[in-house]
Amino acid sequence: MINEDIKRVCVEKCSGNLKLVTSDIQKDIVSACAIGTTNSIIKDLGDSLFAILVDEACDVSNKEQMTVVIRYVDKLGHVVERLLALVGVAKKNMNISDLFFLVTNVVNVVRGSCKRHDILQEIQLAKIKETLENGELSNGQGLNQNTTLKRGGGGDTRWSSHYRTLVSLEYMFSSILDVLDLIVKDMKLSSDQRHEAHNLLKSLQTFEFAFSLHLMISLLGITNELLQALQRKDQVIVNAMTLLDDISSFCAKHDIEVPSLVDTYVVPGRVRRHVEKRTVLHHFQVELFFQVIDLQLQELNSRFSEANTKLLLCVACLNPSDSFYAFDKEKLIRLSKFYLKEFSEVQYSTKELDNQLETYILDMRSNTHFVNLKGIRDVAEKMVEKGKHALYPLVYKLITLILILPVATATVERAFSAMKILKNRLRNRMSDQFMVDCLIPYVEK
């Protein structure tokens, strides 16, 4: 199909000249490849059930891009994820928003040139060498590896990228201050550049920044654990109670003044007579610490509702480990009620699904072909291989619905990686449609 589309384009556009060097012809050929690839995906999908994964990221020209991926189970029982399209698309706590704004500016200034980046590396290497000689650091395989100040991700939801940026900034904090100080003293630079570096240097050496930095490092560092244990809200508080000690030692190390917690908090840049008086402790505890934790918990609760939690508990019943030890017929019947259109009373009765599940589990536990399966995906593939999908159609449909749940975004991230290769700094004016046409066959090769 793809070859036919390319041949048609060549015949229509070339008019006897087969050099294929003009940009219009090349774009038409790429478009034909994209159309052929998309048609092939649609044909493979057929009338199967599918799920959609959507994510966003910034391209090299700082334009927000959205990738759409479909996830389905093919005729052989394999879980497939396919890229469909990439199109252009257009922090609630003010203190944390200010933190990330400041961090972004620091990264841009310090990494603004190869020279500054090299200076940062040299200073950091010298400090590591000094601490090793003083016995303050341990030396060994995998320790004290060369690091750099990492850039954050393109969107607010890319917290893992933000976390790496904050960790690298904390680790190289002293070296970053030295680089900013060198910029301030460099008379060859413009006054605007030196003034910007001076303001950044002043903002970094405040208790407000130190507190916000360590708060977000602490919270983002345990986000993955929170996703797996949403009900353990006290875990956040317990782990974060050591935050103040970490901040105090950080401030002492870098000569940052630590305010008294009983003093009146002064809001920077605000007219003081219009501001309600509160203590430093109240500001950092209530307006920062508690508020950020509440925002994170609200976000997690919105992503994992009570219905979602029940759904995941039912899904676990299909796990084949230990001879289908987790199998629970009642929960699986309850699971089918989440999919009213696929298991409507008009098409199937609960009794029919009940009977199939009863026979299915006896068959699975007594059949040597289904021993030592590692996951639900393996169950689906083995059922198709042995013809069991036709014998237990309702059970297989239930397994198919579970397998297409969008629980991972590897294909989405692969699309973003491809985007960075295709649309680089030398091709940052590439149109959205041309990028789509290039990405689809590139990712689906």
Give the burial string for 37-62 (b: 16+ CB within 10 Å, else e): bbeebeeeeeeeebeebebbbebeee
Strand order in the sheet with 64-73: 50-58, 64-73, 79-88
**Greater model confidence, 389 or 87:** 389
The pLDDT, as a whole number, for residue 242 is: 56
* Residue 300 in this model has a pLDDT that exceeds 80: no
The pLDDT, as a whole number, for residue 201 is: 92
H or E stretch including 272? none
The pLDDT, as a whole number, for residue 147 is: 59
The stretches of 186-255 forming alpha helices (DSSP H) are: 191-204, 207-221, 223-228, 234-240, 243-253
Give the residue from 179, 64, 173 showing the smallest Cα distance to 118. Answer: 179
Query: Hey, what's the torsion of the CAs at 46, 47, 50, 55, to 10 degrees?
Result: 50
Query: Per-residue confidence at 199, pLDDT binned at 50, 70, 90?
Result: very high
Least confident of 22-36, 242-256, 407-421: 407-421
Least confident of 72-81, 194-203, 380-389: 72-81
**Greater model confidence, 176 or 227:** 176
Q: What percent of the chain shows pLDDT beyond 90?
A: 7
The pLDDT, as a whole number, for residue 198 is: 92
Query: Do residues 403 and 73 make contact, with C-beta atoms less than 8 angstroms apart?
Result: yes
Q: What is the mean pLDDT of residues 297-306?
A: 67
Q: What is the mean pLDDT of residues 389-408?
A: 83
Reported pTM: 0.47
Least confident of 2-11, 50-59, 363-372, 376-385: 2-11
